[in-house]
């Protein structure tokens, strides 16, 4: 959208006689079906409304007292067709999963089946309220319990905390479980080790929980340096936070050895499960010695980030940490049966099933705000079944390796020689011509009709480009993306300076992203 100006709305047009795309200029700023759209405040005024309202007796006594409005509210008035057209035109300038492929790495922007949406909109789920009596939401609790059972089964763990809202919230839950377990045995440890190939939220979470963070280097293959890790372990290390598969798109083959070494030193293993999509159905983290791992339901089990509501980040827990999971509604396994521990009567329940009171560290949140994610994730699981979820991981890894091998002859792929990647392929800008960067390539991809891939992450690769195709994209879609990707890469290597000013065909040209972050214009000011 255009920024507000001091003289009312005027379409953005090129110089007289010169069009944005080389043709003649237009008086509207529109280019065929690419429509210019002003701010809603600039196409309406606050003196009109799109509906007829009855006259109000302003002399009548109200209950508002001193809270009664004494000035115009300042909202724009539009007729219904104007409002519909405004938001439809804006939506045409947006990119979404229903328009095309999202190559964002470490995000898992997969297609969200419409069946999931249908189930999430069923009245018993869509209309549930957190303050309803427990007996009126037994169906919703049943969904949570069934989902918990699937998560424990897929991960080979002992329990799962269902309340964390998303990834970083789940990380905090896992670290607080570890802190509670250490405190219960009177063991005050101060350090959390974080490999350089971990997600950036890992060290932030550990620091937020009061730990001192120390890094562990990677080896030449992009994996954790096992010997460096072992050398640093000691009585002050509370945990290791490891991302597996890591942010270089690589599986950690020494994961079992890492876990054994950490446990021998008295610490715990936290695994960032954001990349679980690459191994679901194939590898159980519990078999690798993991003590706690969050799972992004909105990534691994469909629904692109935030789609239809908040994310969700349940945390699966080992038998050692399961007693310390938060309330409400932590599921735990006993004799092969998953029990959903509700807050009401929790101690009595725990005494009956687990032989003593709960040792939980408290609450992570007041209510479950992500019922929509629970229903979507469970629908996805039931639709695929265990074998189908295994195929999800296999297809995601196959697609990523197809992109890696299709691009490695024209684009620097630092870890390609060490073998296949997992669900995402990592590249760098090593061979770009002087003056051109990863940012320029990303802007060039916009002109090709694609949302850019994840850029400059992970930090261990200069000019990083992280591409994750997911399992939901067909070979034809990926082939088309590869063609466009190769074309822009070859232009960057050849020194095509038009990339430095891309995008040229988007609704807006390149923004000053630094100023947009530091001095955002978030409020409309009436020029009058």
- At 304-343, the pLDDT tens digits run 665 555 688 999 999 899 888 887 766 777 766 776 666 6
For residue 240, being part of any structural domain is answered with: yes
Question: Do both 410 and 349 map to the same domain?
Answer: no
For residue 466, being part of any structural domain is answered with: yes
Which tens digits make up the pLDDT trace of 142-178?
Answer: 899 899 999 999 999 998 999 898 889 999 999 999 9
Is the pLDDT score of 15 beyond 50?
Answer: no
Is the pLDDT score of 483 beyond 50?
Answer: yes
Question: Do both 243 and 119 map to the same domain?
Answer: yes
The residue range of the domain holding 226 is 115-376
Question: Do both 356 and 410 map to the same domain?
Answer: no
Bridge-based pairing of strands 465-467 and 454-455 is: antiparallel
At residue 245, the pLDDT reads 94
For residue 65, being part of any structural domain is answered with: no
How far is Cα 489 from Cα 428, in angstroms, rounded to an integer? 11
Question: Do both 362 and 394 map to the same domain?
Answer: no
For residue 503, being part of any structural domain is answered with: yes
Question: Do both 329 and 180 map to the same domain?
Answer: yes
Q: Which residue has the higher pLDDT, 233 or 47?
A: 233
Confidence of residue 77 (pLDDT cuts 50, 70, 90): confident
Question: Do both 226 and 358 map to the same domain?
Answer: yes
At residue 459, the pLDDT reads 87
Question: Do both 297 and 227 map to the same domain?
Answer: yes
Residues contacting 147, CB < 8 A, separation 6+: 162, 314, 374, 377, 378, 381
Q: Which residue has the higher pLDDT, 317 or 32?
A: 317
For residue 243, being part of any structural domain is answered with: yes
Least confident of 49-53, 115-119, 451-455: 49-53
Domains of the chain: total: 2
Q: What is the CATH number of the domain that holds 256?
A: 3.40.640.10
Question: Do both 363 and 419 map to the same domain?
Answer: no
Domain boundary among 376, 405, 435: 376
For residue 3, being part of any structural domain is answered with: no
Which tens digits make up the pLDDT trace of 397-446?
Answer: 999 999 999 999 999 999 999 999 999 999 999 999 999 999 999 999 99
Question: Do both 405 and 358 map to the same domain?
Answer: no
Long-range contact set of residues 302-305: C-beta below 8 Å, sequence gap at least 24:
302/110, 302/111, 302/112, 302/113, 302/116, 302/376, 302/377, 302/380, 303/112, 303/116, 303/373, 303/376, 303/377, 304/97, 304/102, 304/109, 304/110, 304/112, 305/107, 305/109
Is the pLDDT score of 282 beyond 50?
Answer: yes
For residue 81, being part of any structural domain is answered with: no
Q: What is the pTM of this model?
A: 0.87
Question: Do both 501 and 416 map to the same domain?
Answer: yes
Question: Do both 353 and 478 map to the same domain?
Answer: no
Q: What is the CATH number of the domain that holds 411?
A: 3.90.1150.10
At residue 527, the pLDDT reads 74
Question: Do both 311 and 456 map to the same domain?
Answer: no
Per-chain mean pLDDT for the chain: 87
């Amino acid at each position: 959208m255009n920024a507000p100006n001091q003289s009312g709305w005027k379409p953005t047009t090129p110089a007289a006689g010169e069009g944005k795309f080389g043709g003649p200029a237009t008086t509207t700023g529109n280019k065929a079906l690419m429509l210019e759209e002003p701010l809603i405040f600039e196409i309406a005024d606050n003196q009109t409304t799109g509906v007829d309202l009855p006259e109000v007796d302003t002399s009548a006594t109200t209950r508002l007292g001193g809270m009664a409005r004494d000035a115009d509210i300042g909202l724009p008035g539009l007729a219904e067709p104007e409002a519909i057209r405004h938001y439809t035109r804006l939506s045409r300038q947006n990119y979404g999963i229903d328009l095309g492929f999202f190559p964002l790495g470490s995000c898992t922007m997969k297609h969200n089946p419409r069946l999931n949406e249908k189930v999430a909109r069923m009245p018993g789920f869509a209309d549930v309220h957190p303050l309803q009596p427990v007996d009126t939401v037994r169906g919703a609790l049943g969904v949570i319990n069934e989902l918990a059972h699937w998560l424990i089964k897929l991960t080979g763990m002992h329990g799962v905390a269902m309340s964390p809202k998303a990834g970083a919230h789940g990380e905090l839950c896992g670290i607080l479980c570890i802190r509670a377990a250490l405190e219960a045995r009177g063991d005050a440890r101060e350090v959390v080790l974080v490999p350089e190939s971990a997600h950036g939220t890992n060290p932030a979470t550990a620091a937020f929980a009061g730990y001192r963070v120390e890094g562990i280097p990677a080896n030449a293959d992009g994996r954790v340096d096992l010997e460096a890790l072992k050398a640093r372990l000691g009585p002050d290390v509370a945990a290791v936070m490891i991302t597996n598969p890591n942010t270089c798109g690589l599986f950690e083959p020494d994961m079992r050895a890492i876990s054994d070494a950490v446990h021998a030193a008295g610490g715990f293993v936290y695994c960032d499960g954001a990349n679980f999509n690459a191994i679901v159905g194939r590898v159980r983290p519990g078999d690798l010695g993991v003590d706690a791992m969050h799972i992004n339901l909105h990534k691994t089990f469909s629904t692109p980030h935030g789609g239809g509501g908040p994310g969700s980040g349940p945390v699966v827990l080992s038998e050692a940490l399961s007693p310390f999971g938060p309330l409400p509604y932590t599921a735990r396994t006993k004799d092969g049966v998953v029990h959903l521990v509700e807050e009401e009567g929790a101690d009595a329940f725990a005494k009956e099933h687990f032989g003593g009171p709960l040792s939980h560290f408290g609450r992570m949140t007041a209510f479950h705000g992500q019922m929509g994610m629970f229903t979507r994730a469970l629908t996805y699981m039931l639709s695929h079944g265990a074998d189908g979820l295994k195929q999800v991981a296999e297809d995601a890894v196959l697609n990523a390796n197809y992109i890696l091998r299709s691009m490695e002859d024209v684009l620097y792929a630092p870890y390609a020689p060490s073998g296949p990647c997992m669900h995402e392929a990592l590249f760098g800008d090593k061979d770009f011509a002087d003056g051109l960067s990863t940012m320029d390539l990303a802007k060039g991809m916009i002109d090709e009709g694609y949302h850019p891939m994840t850029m400059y992450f992970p930090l261990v690769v200069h000019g990083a480009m992280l591409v994750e195709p997911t399992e939901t994209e067909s070979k034809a879609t990926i082939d088309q993306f590869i063609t466009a990707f190769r074309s822009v890469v070859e232009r960057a290597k050849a020194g095509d300076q038009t990339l430095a000013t891309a995008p040229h065909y988007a609704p807006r040209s390149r923004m000053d992203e630094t100023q947009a972050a530091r001095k955002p214009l978030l409020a409309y000011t009436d020029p009058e």
